């Protein structure tokens, strides 16, 4: 696993010392290079593309407005992700998180039973195989189906490559919570992939036609 | 530790981020628990497959163009005060919590410094009224002449304003005397009157009442309300205020004092 020591945050001039066009230039130098990462995070966090694009733009506008608060030498991507997470929480408060989590708990237990049975029978891991076969949109759908707190943790650590400490700061929770949520999130993703595969005929050959149709479209 | 607790550590174990002590404990458990060992192995394979996928997508040209336009506009503006306030907190809920806590503190302080004294001033005035009318507190001066009592008060050197003593004989109240006291820790001149069916007390103190109960009625610039079965009338003068306290009902008292009963909503 790669973590974010390489986010390029050693500025030649501190953000606090600047103003006007200097601010714009520094922002372009330090914040904008992370735009693909932030945009991707928005896509996985939001429920649809329009929401994601709004979230992306709002995140960058806020980051620009408060760029003087960015601490040179710290992880700029983590700083941007913190802003994104706060904007997301403010804009889209999800009131049904607990219900969704409970919904997943039964499926998770069932999946573990199946996994252990497959192992005893010498069959391959279904989720690992599925992950190599599925197209991006299918994986994205599975990711987006996770309850928000698990999705955020998985997103920050496994996709955005933040350290556990950085993810804990972004989510404003203890590092132990990040650790357990991440374990759970990875299991839930396997459950979601499995369930998605079952619904879409993976393993029966039906998925290939669907995948071929989907591949002609956009990635997300 | 239960299997469920070990499974919470799967991610950190796979990422190699467990503390040496936890790592040793997990490794030991995996040697003895086949189910956990299989789940950990599966997790490891799944994570390898996950890491091999490309999840980062490029920002579409149109989205980037919109962002650049918005940033160009933003460069000409500065954040509002509330945005600056909210930006001080890592989580918006913290900012809201801080603001709510601030409001609670302001409310409590306002209760402490404003409402509480208002409650106390009337409570103390009523206590004083009961003590005087029941004879528990003796009068310092006994006279039926308002001018004499007024002079005695103003010459006592114990009050910090020039007080008056009203002649209420036209209203049917005969002055019986007075005393100097303290109300809300401020010097007070108290005059006691007797009517045919009522004892009346008039308390005067420098300054003004900080605030009044919301149910106080304004009757020709006298504020009147009932508390503990007593009628209290508050009148403000240039340098001092006056509280009349009587056991008569409001309407009877107002009529007796010659104040027409005209309520202002």
Domain residue spans of chain B: 3-50, 107-256
From residue B114, how far is each of A168, B57, B203 by CA, in Å? 44, 60, 20
Give the pLDDT of residue A105.
66
Q: What is the pLDDT of residues A110-144, one digit of tens each?
A: 667 766 666 665 556 666 667 777 777 778 888 88
Which carries the bigger pLDDT value, residue A203 or residue A33? Answer: A33
* Chosen from B11, B14, B74, B87 to mutate, greatest number of chain A CBs within 10 A: B11
* Chosen from B71, B80, B98 to mutate, greatest number of chain A CBs within 10 A: B71
- Average pLDDT on B1-23 reads 84
Which carries the bigger pLDDT value, residue A19 or residue B152? Answer: B152
Give the pLDDT of residue A120.
62
Nearest residue of A to residue B46, measured between CA atoms: A128
Give the pLDDT of residue A1.
40
Chain A residues near residue B47 by CB distance under 8 angstroms = 1, 158, 186
Q: How far is B11 from chain A (nearest CA, A)?
A: 5
Q: For residue A13, name the pLDDT band (cuts at 50, 70, 90).
A: very low
* Contact at CB, B42 and A128, closer than 8 angstroms: yes
Whether pLDDT at B222 is above 60: yes
Residue among B80, B103, B118 at smallest CA distance from B210: B118
Contact A55, A61 (CB under 8 A): no
Give the pLDDT of residue B80.
63
Nearest residue of B to residue A35, measured between CA atoms: B59
Q: What is the pLDDT of residues A49-95, one digit of tens each?
A: 888 999 999 999 999 988 888 887 788 999 999 999 998 888 776 54
* Contact at CB, A119 and B50, closer than 8 angstroms: no
Which carries the bigger pLDDT value, residue B4 or residue A200? Answer: B4
* Chosen from A77, A125, A156, A193 to mutate, greatest number of chain B CBs within 10 A: A125
Which of A172, A179, A219 has the CB atom closest to B57's CB atom?
A: A219
Q: What is the pLDDT of residues A148-178, one digit of tens each?
A: 888 999 999 999 989 999 999 999 999 999 9
Contact B81, B88 (CB under 8 A): no
* Contact at CB, B75 and A164, closer than 8 angstroms: no
User: Collapsing DSSP states into helix, strand and coil, what is residue A129?
Assistant: helix
Give the pLDDT of residue A98.
46
Q: How far is B238 from chain A (nearest CA, A)?
A: 53
Q: How far is A37 from chain B (nearest CA, A)?
A: 6
Chain B residues near residue A24 by CB distance under 8 angstroms = 71, 75
From residue A173, how far is each of A82, A89, B46, B115 by CA, in Å? 12, 14, 26, 40
Average pLDDT, chain B: 83
Whether pLDDT at B166 is above 80: yes
Give the pLDDT of residue A220.
33
Give the pLDDT of residue B202.
94
Give dist(CA B46, CA A129) in Å, integer: 8
Nearest residue of A to residue B79, measured between CA atoms: A65
Q: For residue B73, name the pLDDT band (cuts at 50, 70, 90).
A: confident
Read off the tokens for B189: 């001149």
* Contact at CB, B12 and A164, closer than 8 angstroms: yes
Domain ranges of chain A: 15-91, 97-215
Whether pLDDT at A38 is above 90: yes
Give the pLDDT of residue B113.
63
Give dist(CA B20, CA A220) in Å, integer: 41
Give dist(CA A9, CA A18) in Å, integer: 16
Most confident of A43-47, A109-113, B142-146: B142-146
* Contact at CB, A190 and B46, closer than 8 angstroms: yes
Q: What is the pLDDT of residues B105-119, one digit of tens each?
A: 887 877 666 554 445
Give the pLDDT of residue A152.
92
Whether pLDDT at B72 is above 80: yes
Chain B residues near residue A220 by CB distance under 8 angstroms = 57
- For A64, what's the count of Cα atoms within 13 Å in the CB-facing half-sphere? 28
Whether pLDDT at B265 is above 80: no
In this structure, CATH architecture of domain A15-91: Orthogonal Bundle (1.10)
Which CATH entry fits the domain spanning A97-215: 1.10.10.10, 2.40.10.410, 3.40.50.1390, 1.10.3720.10?
A: 1.10.10.10
Q: Report the alpha-carbon angle A212-A213-A215, nearest 5.
A: 65
The residues pairing with B217 across neighbouring beta strands, listed in sequence order, are: B224
Chain B residues near residue A173 by CB distance under 8 angstroms = none
* Contact at CB, A220 and B57, closer than 8 angstroms: yes
Greatest pairwise CA separation for chain B in angstroms = 104
Q: Please tell us whether the domain made up of B107-256 is placed in CATH 3.30.200.100.
A: yes
Give the pLDDT of residue A53.
92
Chain A residues near residue B95 by CB distance under 8 angstroms = none
Q: For residue A210, name the pLDDT band (cuts at 50, 70, 90).
A: very low
Give the pLDDT of residue A126.
65
Q: A125 — phi, psi (to 5°)?
A: -70, 120
Give the pLDDT of residue B103.
87
Chain B residues near residue A159 by CB distance under 8 angstroms = 55-56
Whether pLDDT at B91 is above 50: yes
Percent of chain B at pLDDT above 90? 22
Whether pLDDT at A18 is above 50: no
* Contact at CB, A182 and B11, closer than 8 angstroms: yes
Q: For residue B79, name the pLDDT band (cuts at 50, 70, 90).
A: low
Give the pLDDT of residue B262.
47
Chain A residues near residue B15 by CB distance under 8 angstroms = 1
* Contact at CB, A158 and B17, closer than 8 angstroms: no
Which carries the bigger pLDDT value, residue A98 or residue B26? Answer: B26
**Buried (b) or exposed (e) across A101-119, using 16+ Cβ within 10 A?**
beebeeebeebbeebeeeb
Chain B residues near residue A187 by CB distance under 8 angstroms = 7, 10, 43
Q: How far is A41 from chain B (nearest CA, A)?
A: 8
Read off the tokens for B111: 């209760």
Range scoring the smallest mean pLDDT among A16-25, B55-64, B161-170, B215-224: A16-25
User: Collapsing DSSP states into helix, strand and coil, what is residue B191?
Assistant: strand
Whether pLDDT at A7 is above 60: no
Give dist(CA B44, CA A128) in Å, integer: 10
Give the pLDDT of residue A156.
94
E-only strand ranges, chain B: 174-183, 186-194, 199-206, 217-219, 222-227, 230-236, 240-246
Give the pLDDT of residue B114.
58
Range scoring the smallest mean pLDDT among A12-16, A79-83, B135-139: A12-16
Whether pLDDT at A217 is above 80: no
């Amino acid at each position: 696993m790669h973590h974010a020591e390489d986010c390029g945050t050693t500025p030649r001039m501190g953000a606090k010392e600047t103003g006007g066009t200097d601010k714009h230039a520094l922002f372009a130098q330090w914040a904008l290079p992370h735009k693909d990462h932030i945009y991707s995070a928005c896509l996985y966090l939001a429920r649809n593309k329009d929401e994601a694009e709004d979230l992306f733009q709002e995140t960058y506008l806020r980051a620009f407005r408060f760029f003087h608060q960015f601490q040179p030498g710290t992880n700029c991507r983590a700083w941007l992700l913190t802003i994104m997470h706060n904007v997301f929480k403010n804009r889209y408060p999800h009131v049904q998180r607990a219900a969704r989590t409970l919904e997943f708990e039964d499926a998770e237990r069932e999946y573990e039973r199946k996994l252990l049975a497959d192992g005893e029978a010498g069959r391959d891991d279904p989720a690992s195989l599925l992950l190599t076969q599925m197209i991006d949109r299918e994986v994205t759908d599975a990711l987006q189906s996770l309850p928000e707190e698990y999705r955020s943790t998985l997103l920050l650590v496994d996709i955005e490559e933040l350290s556990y400490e950085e993810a804990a700061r972004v989510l404003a929770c203890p590092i132990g919570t990040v650790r357990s949520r991440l374990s759970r999130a990875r299991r839930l993703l396997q459950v979601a992939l499995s369930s998605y595969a079952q619904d879409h005929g993976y393993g029966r050959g039906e998925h290939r036609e669907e995948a071929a149709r989907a591949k002609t479209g956009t990635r997300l | 530790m239960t299997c469920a607790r070990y499974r919470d550590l799967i991610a950190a174990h796979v990422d190699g981020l467990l503390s040496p002590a936890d790592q040793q404990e997990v490794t030991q458990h995996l040697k003895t628990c086949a189910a956990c060992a299989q789940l950990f192995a599966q997790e490891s394979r799944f994570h390898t497959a996950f890491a091999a996928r490309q999840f980062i997508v490029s920002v579409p040209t149109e989205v980037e163009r919109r962002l650049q336009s918005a940033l160009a506009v933003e460069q000409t503006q500065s954040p509002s005060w509330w945005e600056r306030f909210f930006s001080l907190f890592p989580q918006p809920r913290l900012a809201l919590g801080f603001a709510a806590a601030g409001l609670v503190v302001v409310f409590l302080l306002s209760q402490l410094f404003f409402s509480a004294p208002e409650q106390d001033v009337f409570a103390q005035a009523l206590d004083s009224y009961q003590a005087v009318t029941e004879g528990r507190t003796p009068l310092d001066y006994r006279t039926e002449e308002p001018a004499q009592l007024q002079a005695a008060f103003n010459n006592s050197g114990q009050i910090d304003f020039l007080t008056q003593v009203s002649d209420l004989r036209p209203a049917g109240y005969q002055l019986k005397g007075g005393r100097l006291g303290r109300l809300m820790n401020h010097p007070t001149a108290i005059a006691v009157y007797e009517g045919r069916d009522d004892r009346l007390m008039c308390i005067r103190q420098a300054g003004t009442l900080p605030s009044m109960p919301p149910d106080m009625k304004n009757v020709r610039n006298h504020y009147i309300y009932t508390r503990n079965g007593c009628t209290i009338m508050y009148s403000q003068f240039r340098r001092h205020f006056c509280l009349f306290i009587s056991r008569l009902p409001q309407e009877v008292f107002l009529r007796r004092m010659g104040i027409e009963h005209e309520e202002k909503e």
